[in-house]
Amino acid sequence: MTDVHPAWLPPEAFQAVGSRRVLVRADGPLAETVREEVARAGAQYGATNSGGLTDEGPADLVLTLSESEGADGYAISRRDGVTTVAGGDPAGLLYGFFHVVRLGEGAFEGDREIEHHRPAMRRRMLDHWDNIDVHPVMGQVERGYSGGSIFWEDGAPRPGLSRVRAYGRLLAATGINAVAINNVNVHATEARLLTDRLGEVAAIADELRPYGIRVHLSVNFASPMALGGLPTADPLDEDVRAWWAATTEHVYATIPDFGGYVVKADSEGQPGPFAYARTHADGANMLAEALAPHGGVVHWRAFVYNHRQDWRDRSTDRARAAYDHFAPLDGRFMDNAILQVKHGPMDFQTREPVSPVILAMRRTRLAVELQVTQEYTGQQRHVCYLAPMWSEILAFENVAGAGDLVAVSNVGADRFWTGHPLAQANLYAFGRLAWDPALDPATVLDEWMDMTFIRPGEPLRRALHAVMDGSWRTYERYTAPLGVGFMVRPGHHYGPDVDGYEYTPWGTYHFADRDGVGVDRTRATGTGFTGQYPQPWSDVYESLERCPDELLLFFHHVPYDHVLHSGSTVIQHIYDTHFAGAEEVAEMRAQWAKVGDLVAPDVHARVTELLDEQLRCAEEWRDQVNTYFFRKSGVPDERGRRIF
């Protein structure tokens, strides 16, 4: 473990707590975890001033329970030299403790009016796309950019699961309370985690439980056939239902606080209820029914579309698919069936409108799914701080009202957890925004750097803000323009290939020709996707005049000389943003170069190396996109810059 980066919980982050007398007035496993945290900090920082855990007063910090704070909630206050954290339950106590850690010395200064903290989301969850086996194409972690799985190695659980507990601790400090441990594409080996390999799930649950994190499992819809030997997986078949009930019973007998199932059904080759002419409500409810007696939930993914589309068929629109499938089922899902919807209608692009499914399903419990792993946003080789994107999404309409916020994790066996050391901030920010979607991304970044870099001085703080604050918009500038999406290399999705998906079955097209570019999704002349939105968005997106620039090509096919709200033509906007994006990366690199003395050498070296790659790749994006559109449009750059 000594070789693993401490991320936002280095020992120094506990100095303020460790040098105070701390009284924990609660019992049970989570209170015990808090005691251990305090004892560890005290052992390091308490010697000279009698800090550390105390069994009786007087104390500088008192952690106690108070039913009035509610599940996971806590109140923090300070009076007469005593800081008090009142947890609504033991988990709240734990979150309150980490709040004190975040505050550092600030937690012990002056008086503090009572503040009540409650999570906006009931479930703050990370989905791992980890496999036990190494997939020949995808590797061990599907869309993972941080090495192998932290759970499995060489086909078996990692010895001692040494990093899993540390991972749980990091997550608890951000407020995460649920982890699905395996890939939603459930292959044969991993399917068995539900049955004869359930012990491995239990072992992982044991490591995460002390940090208030429940374990969920991705399951294969066809498990009754593959594992149970039944002739069908029909969700209305009595034997199938009995199999799921018995199997689930056994899961809970082994892991009493098991969270539930995650299911990708009828999607990209996964089996599902369509094979039996059943609805996705039938499928989800079957599992919900098996889980209900035990308090579990099923996360049923709405990512269902035709991935064998004919590119010649202009009438099919992948963006429409989830709504078309699920909106008619609103109100038909059981209470413990949670429809898990990707934030956008396509697939975790750098810029998408919010999925209309999220706005439509008023009588269905929802989980909004984000992607911390940077599949389409630079694959943890590019700095791309995603909190500003998530913040925009969560601020849109009722998105933040979903009960669950879920994201695909970005960690792996890499020594920095996330490949790119600065990508740790995305994991941190996800947890914090799931707790409080109203948090300002720059403030979250300050929190993160205060702990990670131990309250850095202004030069480092400024550099980190300069590198990270605008990095998502920078990434957007040098990649696919104006919300049109994709243009990535097929398969691995790294680097540019403007036509890479243009003539494929994946439903991801930009329709660029010599006159214009973009996807006409209007009701008037296009696929009608805009009609899936409630007002005012239905009309806003339909209107060429009112549609936001950044989503223009998602909703409209326009000529290259179409003038944006910005005053620029589309073609000039493409040129300008691509030159600007690459220049911004060069500036990020220059900023980072200046702080070499202020950052641990290993972190600085890794980030420097990756910024070199980011600049190379940004220039490649710039040149390919600009050349592609210049060759198509024939319109020269107004500013005469070099296009190939």
In the bound complex, what is the minimum distance in angstroms from residue 476's beta carbon to its own copies? 20
> Rule CB under 8 A: is residue 637 a binding residue for its own copies?
no
Tokens 């990209």 label which residue? Answer: 268
Size of the site for its own copies (CB under 8 A): 24
> Do the Cβ atoms of 381 and 145 come closer than 8 Å?
yes
CB 316 within 8 A of CB 309: yes
By CB under 8 A, tell whether 639 contacts its own copies. no
- Among residues 260, 527, 472, 196, which one has the least CA distance to residue 351? 472
Q: Which of 60, 190, 375, 542 is catalytic?
A: 375
Decide: is 641 part of the binding site for its own copies (CB under 8 A): no
Contact status: 597 vs its own copies (CB under 8 A): no
Q: Rank residues 89 and 619 by Cβ distance to its own copies and give the closer one.
A: 619
Task: Pull the structure tokens for residue 333.
Answer: 């899902």
> Burial level of 420, CB count in 10 A (0-12/13-18/19+)?
buried
Among 634, 636, 638, 641, binds its own copies (CB under 8 A): 634
Indicate the SS3 state at residue 21: strand
Tell me the C-alpha distance between 368 and 341, whole Å.
5
Q: How far is the CB of 531 from its own copies (least distance, A)?
A: 25
Nearer to its own copies, 327 or 635 (CB): 635
Read off the tokens for 86: 């009142």
**From start to end of 220-375, where are the E strands?**
260-263, 297-301, 337-342, 365-371
Kindly tell me which residue out of 227, 512, 519, 574 binds its own copies, with binding defined by CB under 8 A: 512
Token pair belonging to 380: 């943890």
Q: For residue 513, state whether it binds its own copies (rule: CB under 8 A).
A: yes
Beta carbon nearer to its own copies, 138 or 327 = 138
Q: How far apart are CA 346 and CA 389, in angstroms?
A: 15
**Judged by CB, which is closer to its own copies: 274, or 311?**
311
- 515 is an interface residue for its own copies by CB under 8 A: yes
215 or 571, CB closer to its own copies? 571
CB of 514 to its own copies, least distance (A): 5
| 19 vs 192: CA distance, rounded Å | 48
Rounded Cα–Cα distance for residues 421 and 637 (Å) = 37
Q: Are 121 and 87 in contact (CB under 8 A)?
A: no
Nearer to its own copies, 396 or 630 (CB): 630
Shortest Cβ 501–its own copies spacing (Å): 10
Of the pair 258, 628, the CB lying nearest its own copies is at 628
What is the DSSP track for 75-122?
A: EEEEETTEEEEEESSHHHHHHHHHHHHHHGGGGGSS-EEEEEE--SSS
238, 269, 277, 312: which one contacts its own copies (CB under 8 A)? 312
CB of 515 to its own copies, least distance (A): 7
Query: Distance (Å, rounded) from C-alpha 414 to C-alpha 490?
Result: 25
The residue among 537 and 628 lying less far from its own copies, judged by its C-beta, is 628
499 among known catalytic residues: no
The token pair at 444 is 């979250």
Q: How far is the CB of 564 from its own copies (least distance, A)?
A: 22
Q: Select the residue interacting with its own copies from 136, 159, 229, 640 (CB under 8 A).
A: 136
Minimum CB–partner distance for residue 186 and its own copies (Å): 23
- Give the one residue of 2, 55, 514, 640 binding its own copies; rule: CB under 8 A: 514
Which residues touch 525 (CB under 8 Å, ≥6 apart)? none
Q: Does 496 bind its own copies (CB under 8 A)?
A: yes
Query: Residue 311 interacts with its own copies (CB under 8 A)?
Result: yes
- Closest CB to its own copies among residues 211, 629: 629
- For the bound state, the minimum distance from the C-beta of residue 388 to its own copies, rounded and expressed in Å, comes to 30
How far is 102 from 367, CA to CA, in rounded Å?
28
Tokens matching residue 144: 């993972």
Is residue 632 close enough to count as binding its own copies by CB under 8 A? yes
Binding segment for its own copies (CB under 8 A), chosen from 166-174, 412-420, 471-479, 630-638, is 630-638
347 in catalytic set: yes
624 near its own copies, rule: CB under 8 A: yes
Stretch that binds its own copies, among 49-57, 285-293, 444-452, 498-506 (CB under 8 A): 498-506
Q: Which of 89, 142, 347, 520 is catalytic?
A: 347
Which of the ranges 250-258, 264-272, 309-317, 457-465 carries the binding residues for its own copies, by CB under 8 A? Answer: 309-317
Q: Which residues contact 583 (CB under 8 A, 6 or more apart)?
A: none
Active-site residue flag, 609: no
Q: How near is the Cβ of 558 to its own copies at its closest, in Å?
A: 15
* Residues 181 and 216 sit within 8 Å (Cβ to Cβ): yes
Please give the span between the terminal C-alpha atoms of the chain, in angstroms, as a whole number: 49
CB of residue 512 to its own copies, shortest distance in Å: 7
Q: Which tokens is 531 given? A: 């009609």
Least gap, CB of 499 to its own copies (angstroms): 4
Give me the catalytic one of 36, 109, 249, 268: 268
Asked whether the beta carbons of 123 and 404 are under 8 A apart, the reply is yes
C-alpha span between 223 and 236 (Å, rounded): 15
> Between 196 and 644, whose beta carbon lies closer to its own copies?
644
Amino acid in position 375: E
CA 304, CA 221: separation in Å to the nearest integer?
14
Start-end of H helices in 303-383: 321-326, 356-360
Tell me the CB-side half-sphere exposure of residue 344, using CA atoms within 13 A.
Answer: 18
Distance (Å, whole) CA 72 – CA 95: 7
Whether the Cβ atoms of residue 354 and residue 344 lie closer than 8 Å to each other:
yes
407 three-state secondary structure: strand
When asked if residue 608 is in the footprint of its own copies (CB under 8 A), the reply is no
The residue within the footprint of its own copies, chosen from 497, 549, 583, 637 (CB under 8 A), is 497
Q: Does 494 bind its own copies (CB under 8 A)?
A: no
If one asks whether residue 324 binds its own copies (CB under 8 A), the answer comes out as no
**Which conformational region is residue 399 in: left (phi greater than 0), alpha (psi within -120 to 50 degrees), or beta?**
alpha
| Window of 8-16, 25-33, 513-521, 602-610 that interacts with its own copies by CB under 8 A | 513-521
Instruction: Report the interface residues with its own copies, using CB under 8 A.
Output: 136, 311-312, 314, 496-499, 503, 512-515, 620, 623-624, 627-628, 630-634, 644
Q: Which residues are catalytic?
A: 268, 347, 375
